[in-house]
Structure 1
């Protein structure tokens, strides 16, 4: 006997929270798959998660490991392990922190910037193929909605008490 799935995928967007959650999970999984395939072109043995550190160093400049842990919502031991791998591969270097000589900053090397830009180019070429039939208006709408969603996700604690929301409706 063939059984139907408990939550079949509708062929149209119904606006439900459940459908949105399902599509977000699907998007994250597909994004991880693409990221893994694109970053395989990088140095052998480097975890694809380490590229998030490289991204932040290229995007925001030299950072302390503790700041990267905050930015990436990760623990310091994970950042330390991944940044050490990036240093070993010549993509990141440790610099003295001018504000505190006892601390060090992590910074992208020229090779790190080259690898990052290569991966960015490959990602953008792939995404251009994915969106080739989309209108400019659709792309702008998608960007605006993703920006709005990401901004809200960053400020909304999933474990916060909904009864403690502020007058502005902000998450705590």
Structure 2
């Protein structure tokens, strides 16, 4: 298989996976901003401008999403002890509960999808996917976070 064919095939599969994940995140009990919430929980707190830079999106888009998460009580602004002019954003306990519910639902979905796979194949798949994402980042194709 040529590099061009490989890139086409991987791109098609990643797009299909992205659509499936987005559809699954559209559950009525979860906010549409789940990826932003997860980023804050895993790597935060962040200022809104930092989030926009990492995600490569317009700051106004992040501001709208953050405002919705704050209104929902899933994210809060915190005082920055080093610079009182900025307010880093952090996930609240309610936000962590939403993330945990989503995590458990995905685990059930993935478990169902991979039910016919051996434990070794499941582990190998997760390892290879992780290696691919890491190497793609190192090649300069994806943001670091």
Q: TM-score of the superposition, structure 2-length normalised?
A: 0.84
Matched, 1:19 2:2: no
Find the counterpart in structure 1 of residue 120 from structure 2.
137
The answer to which of 67-76 and 77-86 deviates more is 67-76
Name the larger-Rg structure.
Answer: 1
Q: Deviations over 1:126-153 (max 9, x none)?
A: 1111111111211121112111211233
Runs ≥4 in structure 1, deviation > 3 angstroms? 155-158
Q: Which runs of 5+ in 2 are unaligned?
A: none
Q: CA RMSD in A?
A: 1.9
User: Displacement, 1:92?
Assistant: 0.6
CA distance in 2, matches of 1:75, 1:129: 37
Greater helix percent: which structure?
2
Task: Report the number of matched residues.
Answer: 138
Mapping of 1:37-116 within 5 angstroms? 37=27, 40-42=28-30, 46=31, 48=32, 50-116=33-99
CA distance in 1, matches of 2:60, 2:90: 18
Q: Deviations over 1:83-106 (max 9, x none)?
A: 010000111111111121110010
Greater strand percent: which structure?
1
CA distance in 2, matches of 1:22, 1:54: 27
Return the structure number with greater relative CO, CA threshold 8 A, min gap 6. 2
Find the counterpart in structure 2 of residue 120 from structure 1.
103
Contact preservation (8 Å) 2:25, 2:34? no
Q: TM-score of the superposition, structure 1-length normalised?
A: 0.72
Find the counterpart in structure 2 of residue 7 from structure 1.
none
Q: Which runs of 5+ in 1 are unaligned?
A: 1-13, 159-172
CA distance in 2, matches of 1:126, 1:51: 17
